[in-house]
Amino acid sequence: MIFGVDYYPEHWDKSEWEHQAALMKEGGFNTVRMGEFAWKLFEKSEGEFDFSFLDEAIEILAKYGIKTILGTPTAAPPKWIVNKYDMLQRDKYGREKGWDARRECCANSPDYIARTEIIVNEMAKHYADNPNVIAWQIDNEFGCHASTHCYCEHCRKEFAKWLREKYGTIENLNEKWGSVFWSLGYDSFDDIILPAYNSCEPTSGDLWSHNPALDLEYRRFSSDSWVKYQKRQIDIIRKYTSAPVTHNLMGHFSDISAYDLSKDLDFVSWDNYPDNQWGGSEHEYVSMAHETMRGAKDKNFIVMEEQSGPAGWDIMGRTPRPGELRLWTYQAIAHGAEGMVYFRFRTALFGMEQYWFGVLDHDGVPRRRFYELQQTGRELQELNDYIINAEPRYDALIVKSYDNVWAHDIKRHTADFSYRDLLYAYYKANIDLCVGTAVSRGSYDKYKVVYMPAYNIVTDGELDEIKAYVENGGTLVLSFRSGTRDEYNRVRPIAVPGVFAEMSGIEVEEFDAPRRSVSVGGEINGAAKVWCDVIKPVTAKVISKYAGEYYSGKAAVTVNDYGKGCVYYVGCDLDDSALKELVRMISKSAGIDAKDAPDGVEIIRKTSPKGDYTVILNFNETETEVDIKGKSLIEGGEFDGKLPPLGVEIIKERDRKIKKLY
């Protein structure tokens, strides 16, 4: 398997390259990713190409058995290009984005596209037959640094063209958008605007005053623009080589559809930093990011940048504790990673990332983190046959919709509502009960339970698939703010939950964004604080009722038989413990063996060509015991059920009875 580091030979004197390659080999690393920020070195001036420094680095690394994943350098164009050509983005106030960072160029700039095609063509042609280049990475982190959306004239014209292709006539667009409101009708596609600044927009920029249909379509267009820009590069590379192509996505980042961005890639990779200067993430949140990346293509992935030290830009982040880098690595493997590349090999002496520490510190001397990864690499190579082509055993699916991400952002319902947080709440409740849970879309029939919280925008085609899933025996879980909008971001003229009403067997009479917490009681007891649907059961059975506010005694959570399956409707947000109990109830009814993991422990079941196994991850800094026994695939002996602080175990046999050591 790939076990590598991100490497920047241009940051170091050539006299150090051989020593660094030898250290990589000593550490067990077999792959580097490099080249993605070296455009200026490849093309010092227009039309003068020189790849000699990278050629030399690739050859030195190859002597030590280290292969290269080559990145195209289009995220960071040199100054001479932006001086000569019109390619910088504009923000929503019309201001030009400054050069001196990265990701400052517009995906729809003809000049940027032309220069991109030239440099990628030269690189692909030059390295087409190099046996040491085993894969390509397109660009770097599309969308980072708030670079998804551009408001330049190139984008406006391309947006108008995109809309013309979609709607055909301006009359059709006006009708679908409800442009009669505020007299916002267009006479032609030439009149199309971008949802940029206008005089009604608050200074804070937190709210928009544009037509919600315009805003949603612009976000779709912006996502499509980067997908199209990426495809241009992929097509060029594939003219010269059959080496696989990837791009390093960013987990929960949602400005660009991961489904669309990954469709032209051979495999997904992504960049994982669990704990940086901006704070740490709960381990379940990181696991959900891994699953989101696996769900982009419903296929295993590679982590192209994995945190290997304190991570920060202007201030230093927290130092990973002994064992934590190993733990994070196995967490990725458990959720679908087939390769690990750590960022970066040696910490930069200059530039923005001086505080973004790598495997080695500034002095290049191997210390604790190096040896921890060395051990981890040895273990992973021994486990290779259990890792490659392994499949997580899923029982549940969390459906993530980028249309709904964008639509909920445009119209947030209430200040405290977060679609991302709601999806995470359901994911966390499942994984805390050891329920294998995917994060993706479609293919519902593979899962016993499908969770679609706040699935507000739903197309007719999606609705047909969902109905068929439930009719054939599936369990569907919906929540408040579902089913009430069409694909144009218009509210449907039917009662909440809109197109899901018949399946849910309910009608929402009213809804409330409460000013204070509202108690919920019945089979599930808890509290709601963000949203409360006041439910009138039609054919549904009531599970829980409100015990506060003027709707006390009204239904809050229901279940309805539909065909051979059933539909749960959760009319409110629930606190963590209540939601966990609801997920336990739903899982049991669907035939899923849901049992508590100890606090701070993840238990993931997988199937591989070598057989079934269970990964146990202890995120606590104290010893924890699980009532799972069997042969350790890491150590080879019998696992006694005790996990050390930040410990990892993989066992062949499975016993799912779990307890906490107090």
Count how many Cα atoms sit within 13 Å of the Cα of residue 62 in the half-sphere of its side chain: 13
Q: Which residues contact 80 (CB under 8 A, 6 or more apart)?
A: 45, 46
- Nearest of 622, 620, 616 to residue 635 by alpha carbon: 616
What six digits make up the tokens of 487? 């694909």
User: Dihedral (C-alpha) 13, 16, 20, 21: value to the nearest 10 degrees?
Assistant: 100
CB 364 within 8 A of CB 389: no
DSSP letter (8 states) at residue 632: B
As a whole number of angstroms, the distance between CA 418 and CA 410 comes to: 11
Sequence-distant (≥ 6) Cβ neighbours of residue 163 within 8 angstroms: 173, 189, 192, 217, 221
Catalytic residue among 36, 43, 104, 141: 141
DSSP secondary structure letters along 181-237: GGG---SSGGG---S---TTS-TT-----S-HHHHHHHHHHHHHHHHHHHHHHHHHH
Contact criterion met (CB below 8 Å) for 408 and 417:
yes
Reference 423, options 252, 595, 224; nearest CA is: 252
CA distance 155 to 90: 10
Task: At 328, list the tokens.
Answer: 């994070």
The first and second tokens of residue 444, run together, are 């519902």
Tokens of 512: 């409330």
| Active-site annotation holds for 284 | no
- Check 36, 305, 324, 602 and give the catalytic one: 305
Residue 203: alpha-carbon gap to chain centroid: 30
Q: How far apart are CA 213 and CA 542, in angstroms?
A: 36
Which residues, including other chains, have CB under 8 Å from residue 250's CB and lie 6 or more apart? Answer: 141, 143, 144, 270, 271
In degrees and rounded to multiples of 5, residue 564 shows phi and psi of -90, -5
CA neighbor of 383 nearest in space, from 617, 605, 618, 634: 634
Residue 166 DSSP SS3: helix
For the record, the structure tokens of 136 come out as 């390509």
User: Regarding beta strands 624-625 and 526-528, do their DSSP bridges make them parallel or antiparallel, or are they unpaired?
Assistant: unpaired
CB 369 within 8 A of CB 325: yes
Per the document, the length of the chain is: 662
Helical spans, DSSP H, in 346-431: 368-382, 384-387, 402-410, 419-431
Query: Is 581 known to be catalytic?
Result: no
| Six-digit token string for 203 | 């200074």
Mind telling me the catalytic residues?
141, 305
